[in-house]
Amino acid sequence: MPMLPLFQVDAFTDRVLTGNPAAVMPLKEWLPDETLRALAAENNLSETAFFVPDGEGHAIRWFTPSCEVPLCGHATLASAFVLFEHLGFAGEVVRFSTRERGTLEVRRSPNGRLVMDFPAGVTKRAIMPEGIERLVGGRPLEAVKMGDDDLLVVLDSAERVRTLAPRLTAFAGFKLRGLVVTAEAAPEDNADIVCRYFAPGYGIAEDPATGSIHTFLVPFWAPRLGKTEIVSRQVSGRGGRLYCRDLGERTEIAGDAVLYMRGEVSL
């Protein structure tokens, strides 16, 4: 019976049981897609990352419990952490080839954090969806589209972001897969911005700490705050902290990671 390695890593945190847990499964070669989907559903975490050797780097794919996604930040961070800390990767930079987002690089910074280099996301001004108040508990200050299926809304305080309890059953009426809520941080947050991410369309009620949304959040906030380096606190129940830099067409997203569990899966 084949045995496959499985790591569970908490990303965007330096403390176990916080941040965003990701399953990481290194493979020698790709398994059938239906097997990858079944493994991700069995792991039942917001993301499972699978990677295989690809030339001098690795090819990576990400699955939620219900579907494959084109990009995932925290599971990429977790995969690089596994390679650096547990699989003996000796290089300075881990390179992941992807199906839709080109090559992603992750390097270790002098302070020990892992730094990801992603393409910057492009937001488009959106007409405020009718009835959005009942989803986010009041009129947002601003709304923009992230890609085709996600909406980013700006609320008037960090406290509103922190205490928001959206009616997830109402998502179907807005034709959204995911919703980002954000605001400028409060002094006690020790950050520049706060955010949360609800993604029932991807099978995730709320993602604890999300790298991919920051490819949109960072270029969105950078000109508004007048700075290129942005610390983001994702104020979910588990929480997460992301250290970001706006590079124009690219976005750097850095964070810590810790191992929660290591084991094997029998197929």
Residue type, 124: K
Active-site residue, from 34, 47, 142, 159: 47
- Looking up tokens 């991807």 gives 202
Q: Does the annotation count 47 as an active-site position?
A: yes
Q: How far apart are CA 193 and CA 63, in angstroms?
A: 28
Q: What string of DSSP letters covers the chain?
A: --EEEEEEEEES-SSTTSSEEEEEEE-SSPPPHHHHHHHHHHHTSS-EEEEEEETTEEEEEEE-SS-EES--HHHHHHHHHHHHHHS---SSEEEEE-SSS-EEEEEE-TTS-EEEEEEPP-EEE-PPPTTHHHHHTS--SEEEEETTTEEEEE-S-HHHHHH----GGGGGGGT-SEEEEEEEPPGGG-SSEEEEEEEGGGTEEEESS-STTHHHHHHHHHHHHT-SEEEEEE-SSS-EEEEEEE-SSEEEEEE-EEEEEEEEEE-
Structure tokens at 227: 């700075």
- Looking up tokens 């069995």 gives 42
Residue type, 119: P
Q: Which positions are catalytic?
A: 47
